[in-house]
Amino acid sequence: MKIRLAAPIQVNSVVDGEGIRAIIWTQGCLHNCKGCHNQTTHDLKGGELVEIEKLKEEIMKLSIEDGITFSGGEPFLQAKACSILAKFIKEQDLNIWCYTGFIFEDIIKDKDKLKFLKYIDVLVDGPFILSKKSLNLTFRGSSNQRIIDVQRSLHENKTITISKYDVIINEKIYQKDATIFI
């Protein structure tokens, strides 16, 4: 099986999830978020088709990474291929983060997307919204995006965000959907 990638696996990233990470940049996105920092990954026919077995070989060579992040583009548009890779990644005892423009509650309704989701540890969900952009956010670009503990959310059958990534601005805490808690 093949997966369409925007770029080769990126190593030694510290901005796309916690720890030192390798990034799998998927190609193709239908969200077309205004202000997206990866517009070159939107073309569904762009990038390069890569054999999953080749990516597995590259993953086996990783040495200092704590985990792998799926980004793009939109990884869930290639849920079947990403699921195969994610299963392999978990077998290597690496954690998985994933960035998506979809929201968690919609992903769990789709069997192919859910299969991929079940391997993910942390999901950053929601489209990038330029009017909600903030440079004060940890691991996300706009305040509507949530950082979700996927395994706990699936186990408890409700969406659970990871509060340590909430941001404090002017003594107010912004969390989940930008609801203000004092």
Report whether pLDDT(179) > 90. Answer: no
Query: What average pLDDT score do residues 2-20 get?
Result: 96
The domain that holds 123 is classified in CATH as 3.20.20.70
What mean pLDDT do residues 9-23 have? 95
pLDDT of residue 173: 46
Residue 176 has pLDDT above 90, yes or no: no
**In sequence order, which residues have a C-beta less than 8 Å from that of residue 59 and are 6 or more positions away?**
9, 22, 68, 85, 88, 89, 92, 94
Across the beta sheet with 167-169, what order do the strands follow?
167-169, 172-175, 179-181
Residue with tokens 């990474």: 65
User: What is the band of 156 on the pLDDT scale with cuts at 50, 70, 90?
Assistant: very high
The amino acid at residue 83 is S
In this structure, are residues 69 and 24 in contact, taking their beta carbons and an 8 Å threshold?
Answer: yes
pTM: 0.90
How many whole angstroms separate alpha carbon 80 and alpha carbon 59? Answer: 18
* pLDDT tens, position by position, 31-79: 989 998 889 999 999 999 999 999 999 999 999 999 999 999 999 999 9
Specify the number of domains making up the chain: 1
Q: Given this model, what pLDDT does residue 180 score?
A: 35
Q: How does pLDDT run across 107-126, given as a tens digit for each residue? A: 999 999 999 999 999 999 99
Calculate what percentage of the chain has a pLDDT beyond 70.
Answer: 91
Name the one residue in this structure whose structure tokens are 């940049």: 25
Q: Which domain holds residue 125?
A: 2-181
